[in-house]
């Protein structure tokens, strides 16, 4: 870039190319710098999201709309992939966390996309790989592509994601928002393992999962300065959590405190929030 030239002096394609190389935290900061770059950044975020979904669905916007309408979230490697700069590895499949009342909607959607259940329904309702806060999972395939529909035990499909085995997979994609519980560690390819004793009971294949992410250049950091460190209550939307909005400027009505209050009052409708406890720093 010539001396004295600003980013906005470039052509649209050049600006998009430059922003596409930024990690999610840097891109978020650029969006906050001015009104014009906000919309460029928003375009890049939506382009990145649609590119991740394109191998699985024919029209990503239709699927994203379904995620929002049915209050579901994408987790696992696909959500992690979104928060990293362009990288070589690709997600193994699409993990969708849903409530029980949304299962039929997603089965119908993927049936129209050409997916087939691996075995008939009665035999395909299996334990969700012993994930915490889940009841069962359904596997659908279309050629080399696979989709896992994971049914959450509670009203909030975020609970299994935020109570999983490591911070590396504490990420979620809704139709209009993306959530990363530990953005600084994630973009630096670092991760913590949560509560080993609990994990040993809930996820016997943790060593295989760890090796998978280590092969993707993630380093698992031991950060236990005390044998019994105090627990810290975390929630989606707190000061250490990154929430990315795909719908233009973030709106005040999307208040996590308001949703948190509704959650504690026992509301039956889905609320985009959840709580978990840290047993590490």
Q: Report pLDDT digits (tens) over 144-201.
A: 999 999 998 877 888 888 888 788 989 999 998 899 988 888 888 888 877 554 444 4
- Bigger pLDDT: 116 or 203? 116
Q: Report pLDDT digits (tens) over 131-147.
A: 667 778 889 999 999 99
- Bigger pLDDT: 280 or 233? 233
Specify if 93 maps to a domain.
yes
pTM of the full structure: 0.80
Give the strand pairing for 177-180 and 116-117: unpaired
pLDDT, position 26: 84
Contacts of 212 (CB under 8 A, 6+ apart): none
Angstrom distance (rounded) from CA 59 to CA 72:
17
Specify if 112 maps to a domain.
yes
- Bigger pLDDT: 7 or 278? 7
Q: What is the CATH number of the domain that holds 82?
A: 3.30.460.10
Specify if 29 maps to a domain.
no
Q: Is 249 helix (H, G, I), strand (E, B) or coil?
A: coil
pLDDT, position 227: 42
Q: Specify the length of the chain in residues.
A: 281
Per-residue pLDDT at 266 exceeds 50: no
Specify if 105 maps to a domain.
yes
Per-residue pLDDT at 75 exceeds 70: yes
Specify if 12 maps to a domain.
no
Specify if 214 maps to a domain.
yes
- The domain tally of the chain equals 1
Query: Closest Cα to residue 188, out of 34, 25, 43, 57?
Result: 25
Specify if 193 maps to a domain.
yes
Contacts of 82 (CB under 8 A, 6+ apart): 24, 48, 49, 52, 171, 173, 178
Specify if 43 maps to a domain.
no
What is the residue range of 124's domain? 58-278
Q: Report pLDDT digits (tens) over 188-235.
A: 888 887 755 444 445 556 777 888 888 888 988 765 544 444 446 777
For the record, the structure tokens of 86 come out as: 């362009």
């Amino acid at each position: 870039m010539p001396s004295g030239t600003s980013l906005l002096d470039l052509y649209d394609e050049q600006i998009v190319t430059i922003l596409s190389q930024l990690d999610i935290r840097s891109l978020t900061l650029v969006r906050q710098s001015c009104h014009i770059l906000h919309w460029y950044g928003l375009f890049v975020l939506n382009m990145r999201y649609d590119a991740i979904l394109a191998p699985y669905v024919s029209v990503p916007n239709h699927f994203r709309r379904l995620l929002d309408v049915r209050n579901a979230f994408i987790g696992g490697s696909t959500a992690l992939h979104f928060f990293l700069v362009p990288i070589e590895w690709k997600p193994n499949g699409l993990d969708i966390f849903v409530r029980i009342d949304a299962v039929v909607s997603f089965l119908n959607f993927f049936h129209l996309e050409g997916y087939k259940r691996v075995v008939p329904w009665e035999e395909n309702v299996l334990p969700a790989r012993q994930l915490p806060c889940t009841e069962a999972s359904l596997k659908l395939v279309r050629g080399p592509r696979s989709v896992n529909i994971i049914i959450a035990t509670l009203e909030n499909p975020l609970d299994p994601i935020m109570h999983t085995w490591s911070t590396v997979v504490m990420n979620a994609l809704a139709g209009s928002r993306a959530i990363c519980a530990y953005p600084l560690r994630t973009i630096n390819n670092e991760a913590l393992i949560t509560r080993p004793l609990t994990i040993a009971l809930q996820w016997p294949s943790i060593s295989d999962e760890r090796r998978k992410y280590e092969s993707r250049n993630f380093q698992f950091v031991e950060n236990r300065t005390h044998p019994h460190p105090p627990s810290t209550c975390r929630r989606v939307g707190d000061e250490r959590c990154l929430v990315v909005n795909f719908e233009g400027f973030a709106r005040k009505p999307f208040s996590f405190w308001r949703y948190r209050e509704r959650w504690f009052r026992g509301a039956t409708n889905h609320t985009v929030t959840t709580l978990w406890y840290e047993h590490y720093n």
